[in-house]
A and B are shown apart, each in its own frame.
Chain A
């Protein structure tokens, strides 16, 4: 069983909700990212989404853009991101890692080389924001063959017919985008998100996690109630933005506090 499947199975059995923090690899530097990843697992993260820095993150809001710019200022490349996963795996062989990013760095590295390196370094899933199922073709087949999950997004604007098509391509979990907008936007209408997720459930068996706009314990709890898990990105990346190379363990703890608080809040749902 893959790490993602095992994690989901465990949550299903215990009735727990998945907590998925997102951070940009190399923000503010690769060594700090490695420490943060372990720290996030200590905070109760079930799965880690690791952002691949890209110069033109057109689906991301200003907070994640700045995280990406910090990582790129240090010259972080896709190969560095894969090496970071490999390093993380030395100490943690059970927490699933999903790479999230844009297609161009993967295209330029070469699909075949990327998939081989992803498997070697211990990547469990891939979510490419600007690659909808209709364009996923060859890369999707390669990832499937290598038993790396391909995670796709469903948005409030996604039609019912499209959901059926996306579900055919998606494995691991389905990522529901809570709002029309970019990462870090303000989410206000919890009720319609809950309703849309409940509609999605009739169309697929995959676990559904919700992301975009979840920034504190209260929004984490409200959204986790409706879904199988939640993703927290901008709220974490904004705090990471306060770190520098002299960051002490206490500083890392301070910036992952939002994840710790979300864990407590969503554990209370049971």
Chain B
């Protein structure tokens, strides 16, 4: 069957000033406006240069190891007893997750802009590791802000960043987690704006970040689309990806937006259950507000304070979400659903035992919903799940949750 080309998109956000419908925009202090505008101008220019994308593609091929496979998870599919499940294997990328697609692109931007100093925020440490990795690769100074709580929870990644030559700075303000690390990175950027490039790790922040991070992550969806046509002779019936800030999800979804036959499901972290309030699901249970440079759905209390989130997975433990997801929710193009800690943990084990693939706890949320969806669909349908990262980093968390210590598991 010939590859159908996507229809011209009705989802061609953002507008010139960075808005996806009512969401997105540039909500930062005056000191940072010039830096954000410089970045937008540079990216607009470079995005039209074939050389830039050639360099990006070459890094992805030779350094990251792309394309990542699209893998038919036969036993997992049989276990669910419905549609065929395919996994997009972002876990096989260098550094073990999709995050590196973005940090490579942004580090190239930093080089072009003559910036010598990289800063980044990190929650689970995956984006911090991916930033430290490309900084080492390109010979740039790198400082990573990380909540003091997360530093304790994610010790191996802290050491990884240090091995890569990055300076890891503990953030003790606020809730001492990802959102506070992002506040601190914004403060650093305002102070060192002349020589510093801020690599934001997800499709949030002021314009142009949601756009450029999406564009770098779209390699996931472009590959998956071509692979599905090649391997299955058609497009998948449904796409499933986990959503914290939402970069792996938008990267998968965006190249399929015009394919009206492809359903899309973004899976937020329901934590202990949406009804308990202990979750990280702003699209399911939050409301629109303004944080970290953009208007989007947020976890906020009645007085407008950002509330603490909870998820088993540090990478989904963020009170906001990328503005394009907010827009796609309102347009009803993507369904935003959720999976609890417990469901994600079950999927973590199922995927590990049935396929020999240990998924990250973030990705386990997508696997959990994807399995449920597959079970409800007929056998000829295809459910494509983004396996956004590998779970090696999470085994200690899982062992602790299940009352085991790694030492005594023999």
| A interface list, Cβ under 8 A from B | 53-62, 65, 69, 72, 77-79, 102-109, 129-132, 134-135, 152-159, 162, 166, 177, 180-182, 185
Contacts and interface: CB of A to CB of B under 8 A. Distances in A.
B30 A153 contact: yes
A56 B193 contact: no
B357 interface: no
B4 interface: no
B26 interface: yes
Contact of A104 (B174, B179, B182, B298): B298
B51 to A, nearest CB: 29
Contacts of A159: 34
Contacts of B277: none
12 contacts: A54-B304, A58-B186, A59-B31, A107-B288, A108-B289, A130-B29, A135-B25, A155-B31, A157-B32, A159-B34, A180-B194, A181-B190
A107 B289 contact: yes
Contact of B26 (A135, A156, A158, A166): A135
Given A57-B183, A58-B292, A181-B191, A108 B303 contact: yes
A103 B295 CA distance: 10
A61 B187 contact: yes
B190 A182 contact: yes
B305 A54 contact: yes
Contact of A132 (B27, B179, B183, B300): B27
Contacts of A78: 303-304
Contacts of A154: 30
Given A56-B183, A130-B290, A108 B302 contact: yes
A106 B293 CA distance: 15
Nearest to B293: A130
Interface string B152-188: 0000000000000000000001100001101100110
Contact of A59 (B190, B193, B295): B190
B303 A132 contact: no
A154 B295 CA distance: 22
Nearest to A109: B304
B304 A152 contact: no
Interface in B18-45: 25-35
Given A54-B304, A104-B300, A130-B29, 6 more contacts: A108-B287, A132-B33, A152-B30, A157-B30, A157-B34, A159-B34
B332 to A, nearest CB: 23
A65 B293 CA distance: 18
A245 B206 CA distance: 40
Nearest to B307: A55
Contacts of A58: 29, 182-183, 186-187, 292
B17 interface: yes
A181 B292 contact: no
B30 A106 contact: no
A109 B300 CA distance: 11
Contacts of A177: 30-31
Q: Which 10 A-B pairs have the closest CB atoms?
A: A105-B304, A108-B304, A77-B303, A153-B30, A59-B29, A181-B191, A157-B34, A58-B183, A155-B31, A55-B305
B226 interface: no
A129 B193 CA distance: 17
**Among A53, A61, A107, A109: residue with most chain B CB under 10 A:** A107
A130 B33 CA distance: 10
Interface in B324-380: none
A57 B305 CA distance: 11
A95 to B, nearest CB: 26
B303 A180 contact: no
Q: Counting chain B CB atoms within 10 Å of each CB, which of A54, A77, A132 scores highest?
A: A132
A22 to B, nearest CB: 15
Contact of B35 (A61, A107, A157): A157
A159 B180 CA distance: 29
